Amino acid sequence: MGMMSTALPDLDRETDLRAAPDEPWQTVVWNDPVNLMSYVVHVFRTYFGYSRDRATQLMLAVHHDGHAIVAEGPREAMEAHTRAMHEFGLWATVRRGNE
C-alpha cells in the first residue's frame, strides 16, 4: 500500500473521469434523380434490416429533405455501410455526428 500523500491536489481543477465519448459518426444517403423509390426502400430494408415503415420514412426523408442519416456509430462501421451503399448505387457519404 502506498503512503497517503500529504500534498493535496488542486481541487479547483475539474477532473473528468469519464472515458472520451465514442465519437458518433454517420452514414448519410443523398437524393439522386435516378434510383427508384422502391429500390431505395428495398436497400434500406434488406441491408440495414429496417422495417418497411422505417425504410419508407428514411427514403422519403432522402427524397424530400435531400438526404437522411441512415446509420450512426463508430467510424469504421459507417464507412462499411457507405461502401455497401455505393455497391447498391446509392449516393452515400460519411461524416462526424456533430457536424
Partner 1 sequence: MTPSVVFGLPRPEADYLRELVEQYLELVTTPDDPRDPAARRLSPDAYPDDPDAAAEFRELTRDDLAATRAADARLMLAALSSPHDHEGDTEPAAILTLALDAREQTAWLRTLAGLRLVLAERIGISDESIMPVGDPRFDVYEWLGYRQEMLLQSLDA
| Residues contributing to the site for partner 1 (CB under 8 A) | 32-36, 38-39, 42, 46, 79, 82-83, 86-89, 91-95
Nearer to partner 1, 45 or 57 (CB): 45
- Min dist CB 15 to partner 1, Å, is 33
Identify the DSSP state of 25: E
Vertex 63 angle, CA 59 and 66, to 5°: 115
Identify the DSSP state of 51: -
- Min dist CB 45 to partner 1, Å, is 9
- Min dist CB 60 to partner 1, Å, is 14
Residue with cell 459518426: 25
Q: What are phi and psi of 74, to 5 degrees?
A: -65, 150
SS3 73: strand
Nearer to partner 1, 2 or 66 (CB): 66
